[in-house]
Amino acid sequence: MSDIVVVTGMSGAGRTSCLKILEDLGFEAVDNLPVNLLARISRSDESGPQRLAIGIDSRTRGFAPERLLMALTEVKAQPGLSPILLFLECEDEVLRRRFSETRRRHPLAEISAVGDALAAERRLMEPLKAAADILIDTSELSLPDLRRILAGRFGAEDRRLTIAVLSFAYRHGLPREADLVFDVRFLRNPHYVDALRPLTGLDAAVQEHIRADPDFAGFVGNLEALVLPLLPRYQNEGKSYLTIAFGCTGGKHRSVFLAEMTSEWLRRRGWNATTVHRELARGTQD
């Protein structure tokens, strides 16, 4: 079986970065492939299974959503081929900022302003978004986040479930990539202790303060009882990547400690778990 990923989506949403990451993961990457060549380049050869990542979007020569969908149908009809359509989404305001920062021109902007071009492209791309096998919203994703998500889905031959445990601040919004979200604002808040306020959930003093909450032990026990039985079920259903998110007010104390603790007990039980602290990485926790 050959792995063929067709990467499309909104201009500026990260198609080039996505292709580079897939190339690092062992794919042969081709960008701006004319749609009429998709079926031809996807054909298997005698060298064995191939891993292809193909970038196609509104700037590609001969692009039309219905033509791309027809070409994907043709590829699927070939023995041993099962292409995946990956759609990269992004909020308009973020796309405007990205085009402004890079001084790149939107591919449809020659006929209208950027805002109108984005609206026109959304209408154009809607059939592909609706048909996508995987949809990734890059509005709030850093490049390491995108790499982590793609590695979880396409990285190794080992298809075990990869788990990311994320801490975040509710004041900055829910993480779009989260599968399971736990609100830990009910726990005692170290922010109101002068000596603990400048510290984070990575510090032992903060951890001890949170552990002393009378409801902490019960919550952790119920959390493990809820999450652990779900993981093999997710894996058996073919899910390769799972994000568990813990949120508190500032994303600095309680959520950070719970994310660290959860990653630790997941690893002790044999799961592949990593930890990401969104607000600590951004420096926006105050």
**Is pLDDT at 221 greater than 60 in this prediction?**
yes
Residue 2 marked as a ligand binder: no
14 annotated among ligand-binding-site residues: yes
**pLDDT 10s digits, 133-168:** 999 999 988 888 888 888 878 875 555 788 999 999
Annotated binding residue 9: yes
- Measured at the CA of 73, the angle between CA 68 and CA 79, to 5 degrees, comes to 135
Q: Is 97 annotated as a binding residue?
A: no
pLDDT tens track for 208-218: 999 999 999 99
Q: Is 11 annotated as a binding residue?
A: yes
Domain boundaries, given as residue ranges, for the chain: 3-154, 162-282
**Tens digits of per-residue pLDDT, 102-129?**
556 666 556 557 778 888 889 999 999 9
**274 among the known binding-site residues?**
no
Any binding-site annotation on 138? Answer: no
Are 274 and 163 contacting, i.e. CB atoms less than 8 angstroms apart?
Answer: yes
Q: Tell me whether residue 13 is annotated as binding.
A: yes
Round to whole Å and give the CA distance between 9 and 57. Answer: 6
Instruction: State the pLDDT at residue 166.
Output: 96
Q: Is 57 annotated for ligand binding? A: yes
Please state which CATH number belongs to domain 3-154: 3.40.50.300
Order the strands of the 241-248 sheet from edge to edge. 180-183, 241-248, 162-169, 272-277
pLDDT at 48 over 50: no
- Do the annotations mark residue 269 as ligand-binding? no
